[in-house]
Amino acid sequence: MNMDYRVKQLMRGKLVPAVLSIVLGIMIIIARRAAVDVLVKVIGGLVIAAGIGFFVIYLTREEKTSGNLKMVIMCSLVMILVGVLLFVFAPNIVDIFPVIMGVYLILNGLSHMTAGYVDQDNRLIASLMGIVLIALGVLIVLQPAFLVNMIMVFIGAAFVVSGISDILLVIRVNGGLI
């Protein structure tokens, strides 16, 4: 078996994941809200698993102290609680998060505007950045779904582009699809 044949075989194995990536990307773009809910629930599940894992790792360690045990139990419980809240209240979190991000952008924009008055050399740049951040923050606070939609479209497009680039790589390496 020569190296060229092995590379071609590996490239053929990329074809199915590439097509799945394109399909997943299109599904994310089409069903953004459902994709965000699932994403928040997956993150919640991962945080729960991390909290349990953190506690299990502590219990399997050789050296344990009572002070550390209290801290580990507290951290594990907080992680599990946060994970459960993310999992159970995913739709509410998805609604609240963009508003928090919008308020943060407005405050950050105001900070840039203030910095523009203090820093004489970069006044124009800081002021323009502040105006852009404030405008984006106000847009997100008034239309919270805008941020969620924008992020999900970006993620979906990244999947589609990744899948297409993998297919093009397979075609280039193999001289065709098969």
Which one has a higher pLDDT value, 52 or 28? 52
7 in a domain, yes or no? no
Domain encompassing residue 170: 17-174
Which residue shows structure tokens 């919008």? Answer: 102
**pLDDT score, position 60:** 82
Nearest to 118 by CA among 108, 128, 127: 127
pLDDT at 64 over 60: yes
- At 170, list the tokens: 């397979």
Say if 73 falls within a structural domain: yes
- Any alpha helices (H) in the chain, and if so which ranges? 3-13, 15-30, 32-60, 66-88, 90-118, 123-142, 144-174
Instruction: Give domain status of residue 4, yes or no.
Output: no
Question: Residue 11: inside a domain, yes or no?
Answer: no
Q: Does residue 96 fall inside a structural domain?
A: yes
pLDDT value at residue 57: 83
Please report whether residue 6 resides in a domain: no
Half-sphere exposure of 160 (CA within 13 A, CB side): 12
Q: Which amino acid, one-letter code, is at 85?
A: L
Question: At residue 1, does pLDDT exceed 60?
Answer: no
What are the Cα distances from residue 57, in Å, to 51, 69, 80? 10, 11, 15
Kindly compute the dihedral angle of the four CA atoms of residues 96, 97, 98, 102, in this order, to the nearest 10 degrees. Answer: 100
- Total number of domains in the chain: 1
Helix, coil or strand: residue 63: coil
The answer to the question of residue 5 being in a domain is: no
CB atoms within 10 A of CB 102: 21
At residue 78 the predicted structure's pLDDT band, cuts being 50, 70 and 90, is: very high
Q: Which amino acid is at 95?
A: D
Query: 93 Cβ partners below 8 Å, 6+ apart?
Result: 40, 85, 86
- If one counts every other C-beta atom within 10 angstroms of the C-beta of residue 31, the result is 14
Residue range 34-54: average pLDDT? 87
> For residue 8, is it within any domain?
no
At residue 143, the 3 state secondary structure works out as coil
